[in-house]
Amino acid sequence: MQLSGTNLLSLTATDLRDMLDQGAITSKILIQSYLNHISAHNRQGMGLRAIIDVAPEANILKLAEELDFERQAGKSRGPFHGVPLVIKDTINTDSKLGMDTTLGSYALRGARPPGNSRVVQAEFGSNKSPDFVAGFSPVGGQTRSAYIERGDLATFPENHESPMGSSSGSAVAVSAGFSPWSIGAETNGSLNSPASRASLYALKPTVGSVSDDGVFKLTDAFDSLGAMAKCVDDLAALTEILLSTVPGRLPPSKISDGALRQKIKGLRLGFVDADQWLLPESILKADESYLKQRRAHYQQAINRMKNSGAMIIHPLDLRQASEYTFEGQSAYSLIRYGQWPALARKYLSTLLNTNIRSLEDIIAFSEENPDLECYPEAPDQQSLIKALKQNTSPELLARAVTAMRKAAADDGLGKAIDDHKLDALIAPTDSDISTVAALAGYPIGTMPLGYLEPSGRPHGLSVLAKADCEKNILEVMRAWEASGFERRLPPPLVKQLTGDLDSSAL
């Protein structure tokens, strides 16, 4: 018996693992259930466009059947044997799986990676999500939030309906029940922001702690793959897998299967002043209603943690992202655009069956094929052009990265953590705190905070810790989850699946 769409909205990877272990379901039935649900609401139904590509049904069902036979023979590949996964379309998958790796662009349609990325070798993925700013890509179209009614878009303040960030497909896929969990990527907020708008738990680990073999990225200094999930147990398990993918790196301390404490009591947490930490107006226009609700939810979180026994430092004073400069210009922009062209050439040189080898080639393809690559959501290529025009020397970039690690980590976030003996720092996810974390190379996660009216759009709290302290972040999340916060399933999708006019109560 297949699982219904309403089941898939709430079931976690841990739930599915237990069902598979108990023989209550098979991987083949599980995969067929997900494929049916994706077919009903990815490009049809709610038209979420969270999935850019799915392995051919015959191939994936055959693989699921093989996994079922292995399980019956006692040859499990790991604790989540046979549980599906969505990955971002910047992560290589072997062409034998039957999926392209396009980065969301028609310029790379038909290009073939040399094989699976190391992350995919560690954990099988069956679906791929788009990769473009705010969830748009030429190949995948515009990803939509499962929490927002389509007919109401014009009534919301600008950009409140956006799924937010280039890993939004990975986020919406989980919130919509297309997968129990997913892997996205983040340079600056592109994993955590969409996860917060999908009411998920997510974590970008310490820069350099997850393998980037077979992954397209913008920078060496800021980028990392990371996990998204509906619950902290799932997030910890997938993060543990990711942290085991760098050859020769010491294995992480145990963070899954009950290794996290669940009580807030005893935690030392520093909260920034929420009114001082906002997104730039070019990204999100903050009206008074939004600010009032945001302020109230933030204070409620502080009160809940304080009443549960945490030691709270509030407000914690930190340097704003805009204050981090190098030789008179934005340090973040200098490094982000400066490292991109060389890394693009390095990645594209590994692909087979394509003539696209550089950002210049991508720009030229787009100019020659405007009907394929240029849409109202992405009318130009200014970001790529800016990267090429910057033409920063490797020596200058290296000095900038070194200077920012000291300024943002040693003298910034790290100093605040040490001075106040904090387990973690907390800020609104709707802010540029992710920029400071990127400059420091520190891990940063997000956890659900609440839902904004009238849209119902979720928002979250960012949790930061020092390098290689992912366990601290996960313990704060686990304590928050255990304190009684309940995720709301996306009411518009619940309504379509059940016809329940009172689905907002879910």
Q: What is the pLDDT of residue 13?
A: 97
Tell me whether strands 201-204 and 224-229 are parallel, antiparallel or unpaired.
Answer: antiparallel
Query: 176 near 146, Cβ under 8 Å?
Result: yes
Lowest mean per-residue pLDDT among 176-190, 364-378, 419-433:
364-378
Per residue in 462-479, pLDDT (tens digit) is 999 999 999 999 999 999
Residues 6+ away with beta carbon under 8 Å from 50 = 42, 86, 129, 130, 143, 168, 169, 170, 171, 172, 173, 176, 178
Q: What is the pLDDT of residue 93?
A: 84
Q: What is the pLDDT of residue 123?
A: 54
Between CA 350 and CA 130 the distance in angstroms is: 21
Q: What is the pLDDT of residue 503?
A: 41
Q: Decide: residue 379, CB within 10 A, 0-12 exposed, 13-18 middle, 19+ buried.
A: exposed
**pLDDT exceeding 70 applies to what percent of the chain?**
90
| Backbone conformation region of residue 123, classed left if phi is above 0, alpha if psi is from -120 to 50, else beta | beta
Between CA 324 and CA 168 the distance in angstroms is: 27
CA distances from 303 to 295, 316, 451, 461 (A): 12, 16, 18, 14
Q: What is the pLDDT of residue 136?
A: 62
Query: Is it true that the peptide bond before 394 is cis, omega within 30 degrees of 0?
Result: no
Between CA 182 and CA 123 the distance in angstroms is: 11
**pLDDT exceeding 90 applies to what percent of the chain?**
64
Between CA 353 and CA 254 the distance in angstroms is: 41
The pLDDT of 280-296, averaged and rounded, is 90
Which two structure tokens, joined as six digits, stand for 163?
Answer: 């799924």
**Higher-confidence position of 132 and 223:** 223
Q: What is the pLDDT of residue 131?
A: 46
Give the DSSP H/E element, type plus range, for residue 132.
none
Q: What is the pLDDT of residue 122?
A: 60
Q: Decide: residue 303, CB within 10 A, 0-12 exposed, 13-18 middle, 19+ buried.
A: exposed
The pLDDT of 25-35, averaged and rounded, is 95
Torsion of Cα atoms, 420 then 186 then 486 then 287, to 10°: 80
Average pLDDT, the chain: 88
Residues 6+ away with beta carbon under 8 Å from 366 = 105, 107, 372, 373, 374, 381
Q: Say if residue 460's pLDDT is above 60.
A: yes
Q: What is the pLDDT of residue 152?
A: 45
Give the DSSP H/E element, type plus range, for residue 152.
none
Q: What is the pLDDT of residue 188?
A: 95
Q: Decide: residue 220, CB within 10 A, 0-12 exposed, 13-18 middle, 19+ buried.
A: middle
Torsion sign, CA atoms 190, 194, 195, 196: positive
Lowest mean per-residue pLDDT among 62-71, 251-260, 417-426, 483-492:
251-260
Q: What is the pLDDT of residue 133?
A: 45
Lowest mean per-residue pLDDT among 246-255, 319-328, 342-351:
246-255
The pLDDT of 479-485, averaged and rounded, is 90
The 3-state secondary structure of 54-103, one letter per residue: ECCHHHHHHHHHHHHHHHHCCCCCCCCCCCCCEEECCECCCHHHCCCCCC
Q: What does pTM read for this prediction? A: 0.93
Q: Say if residue 500's pLDDT is above 70.
A: no
Between CA 162 and CA 214 the distance in angstroms is: 29
Residues 6+ away with beta carbon under 8 Å from 362 = 105, 107, 344, 356, 381, 384
The pLDDT of 390-415, averaged and rounded, is 96
Q: What is the pLDDT of residue 391?
A: 83
Query: 183 near 172, Cβ under 8 Å?
Result: no
The pLDDT of 361-365, averaged and rounded, is 88
Lowest mean per-residue pLDDT among 79-93, 249-263, 441-455, 488-502:
249-263
The pLDDT of 403-429, averaged and rounded, is 98
Tell me whether strands 329-330 and 325-326 are parallel, antiparallel or unpaired.
Answer: antiparallel
Angle between helix 288-307 and 470-482 (nearest 10): 90
Q: What is the pLDDT of residue 155?
A: 42
Lowest mean per-residue pLDDT among 5-9, 420-424, 459-463:
5-9
Per residue in 433-459, pLDDT (tens digit) is 999 999 999 999 999 999 999 889 999
Lowest mean per-residue pLDDT among 216-220, 231-235, 256-260:
256-260
Angle between helix 359-368 and 382-390 (nearest 10): 140
Tokens 């005893």, residue located: 266
Q: Decide: residue 337, CB within 10 A, 0-12 exposed, 13-18 middle, 19+ buried.
A: buried
Beta strands per DSSP E along 187-321: 201-204, 224-229, 268-272, 311-316
Q: Say if residue 65's pLDDT is above 80.
A: yes
Between CA 85 and CA 473 the distance in angstroms is: 23
CA nearest neighbour of 194 among 172, 217, 225: 172
CA nearest neighbour of 172 among 120, 130, 218: 130
The pLDDT of 296-302, averaged and rounded, is 98
259 phi and psi, to 5 degrees? -80, -10
Residues 6+ away with beta carbon under 8 Å from 341 = 358, 359, 387, 388
Tell me whether strands 86-88 and 424-428 are parallel, antiparallel or unpaired.
Answer: unpaired
Q: What is the pLDDT of residue 252?
A: 67
The pLDDT of 259-286, averaged and rounded, is 88
The pLDDT of 65-70, averaged and rounded, is 95
Q: What is the pLDDT of residue 102?
A: 79
Q: Name the 3-class secondary structure at 198.
A: coil
Q: What is the pLDDT of residue 138?
A: 64
Q: What is the pLDDT of residue 159?
A: 62
The residues annotated as belonging to the active site are 88, 166, 190
Q: What is the pLDDT of residue 150?
A: 66
Query: 20 near 28, Cβ under 8 Å?
Result: no
Tell me whether strands 268-272 and 311-316 are parallel, antiparallel or unpaired.
Answer: parallel
pLDDT confidence band for 56 (50 / 70 / 90): confident
Tokens 């981090």, residue located: 324
